[in-house]
Structure formats: structure tokens, C-alpha cells
Amino acid sequence: MNSVKTLRVRVWLLLGMLVLPLAAAAVEEIVVVALFADKAMLRIDGVQRLLAVGEVSPEGVALLGADSEQATIEFNGERRLLKLGTHISSHYAAPKVKTEQIWPDSSGMYSVGGTINGGAVRFLIDTGANTIALNGNDAKRLNIDYKKRGKRVVGETASGLETVYLLTLDTVTVGQIKLHNVEAIVFDGPHPSSALLGLTFLNRIDMRRDGSLLTLEQR
């Protein structure tokens, strides 16, 4: 009788040794779909999982922390800090092409974090804007002396003609995508309320939509 019990235990141990590595190896893709305070919606191999901090998905993905900007996950003993729209595939292998995936917000707009000349900024993607556009307050925060560096011109906006400053930004990044010498305009005032990521950036990358998912890809 004892030998039968021992055999059963050994069988279960062997099954456990086989099943656990296969479950971990099965995860091919993780996408951050939505972020909340202490919660994150992840799409794991096509299945959406809403995880609270401290929970582990059936696939073995653990959520260690989350807020409205980013989430920290752990999988296969590796921790990763992920932002909204971040896409991980092939067991965290570094992508050959630099991409950024963005989901719309509740109002249907696409916004994404990035940098201008190394300073953090939040962009609103606007395919109707001919150029990157900043307000004067953001330019000052980013240490851009637009009145000295920029060329004063008259630009046509939705509200009519306005005086703006045309200049070239040293670097603009969105996720892993980085461009140099990007033209922009600065309004000497509080508008636009969000920095606009316009065509002087978008025309130099590839952009595609898959349903509501927007993907930016560096050429």
C-alpha cells in the first residue's frame, strides 16, 4: 500500500515538473491594454486579464505595481516596467524594429509620453497638425528659448491667424522611437493645452491602425 502511495506521489511530482515549464513557455505575447490605480488590464496571448497588484495570471504573469502611467510585471523571474500600449513578444526578446503601440483614451484621442530635447512631455497625436506644436509654457519648462532660437512667423490656426515661432528641435522621442532635427512651432501663450505630435514627426515614421490600436514604427 505504501509503495502505491509513493508511486502516486512520484507521478504527481513528475507531472508538476512537466507542466510548470510548459505553462511559462506558452506565453508569446503580452500587451498593456489599460492601466488603473493598483490594477492593470493585460492581453496575454490574446486573452485579456484584469489583474490587481499581487495577483498572478493563469499564465504566470504577476502584477507587482500599477498606476495610471505604468505597470510593473514579473514573468519567468524577470521584472519589466511597462507603459500603456507596450507590447512584449518572443519571451522579451528585443524587437528588431522600434515601435510604440497606443490605445485611445476614453474620449477616443491618442496620447503618448515622450521627450523633447531630453525633457518629458505628453503628446496628443494630431494628423491634422502640419508640425509639432507647443505652447509657450511647455517650451519654457523644456528650456526652449523659442523667442531667441525661433523665427517669428504668422501661422493659420483653427481660430485664425496667430503669431508663432518656427524652430528645429534637437531630438524628439516617443517610446523607443527617436528622431533628430524635427521642425516645430511654439505659440506664445497657453494654447495648445497639450503638445501636438504633428506631421513633421509622423511623416518620418510609419503609422498604422489595427482596429483601435495605433502603432508607430521607426523606419
Domains of the chain in start order, with CATH, are 26-94 (2.30.30), 111-218 (2.40.70.10)
Q: Is-contact 129 118, C-beta < 8 A?
A: no
Q: Is-contact 140 149, C-beta < 8 A?
A: no
Q: What is the mean pLDDT of the chain?
A: 83
Residue type at position 17: M
Q: What is the mean pLDDT of residues 26-46?
A: 86
Band (pLDDT 50/70/90 cuts) for residue 68 is confident
Residue 12 is predicted with a pLDDT of 35
Q: Is-contact 163 152, C-beta < 8 A?
A: yes
Q: Examine the pLDDT at 143 and tell me if it is beyond 90.
A: yes
16 burial type by CB count under 10 A (0-12 exposed, 13-18 middle, 19+ buried): exposed
In 3D space, the residue among 125, 118, 114, 91 whose CA is nearest the CA of residue 200 turns out to be 125
CA distance 206 to 219: 7
Report percent pLDDT > 90 for the chain. Answer: 53
Residue 195 is predicted with a pLDDT of 96
Of the given ranges (64-78, 91-105, 113-127, 132-146), which has the lowest mean pLDDT? 91-105
Record the cell numbers describing residue 66, joined without a space. Answer: 500599477
Band (pLDDT 50/70/90 cuts) for residue 90 is low
CA distance 112 to 93: 23
CA distance 177 to 97: 9
Q: Which long-range contacts (CB under 8 A, 24 or more apart) does 85-93 make?
A: 85/31, 85/32, 85/112, 85/213, 86/31, 86/32, 87/29, 87/30, 87/31, 87/32, 88/29, 88/30, 88/31, 89/28, 89/29, 89/30, 90/28, 91/25, 91/27, 91/28
Residue 98 is predicted with a pLDDT of 86
Q: Examine the pLDDT at 9 and tell me if it is beyond 70.
A: no
Residue 96 is predicted with a pLDDT of 57
Q: Examine the pLDDT at 2 and tell me if it is beyond 80.
A: no
Contacts of 36 (CB under 8 A, 6+ apart): 66, 67, 68
Q: What is the mean pLDDT of residues 51-78?
A: 89
Query: pTM above the 0.75 mark?
Result: no
Band (pLDDT 50/70/90 cuts) for residue 158 is low
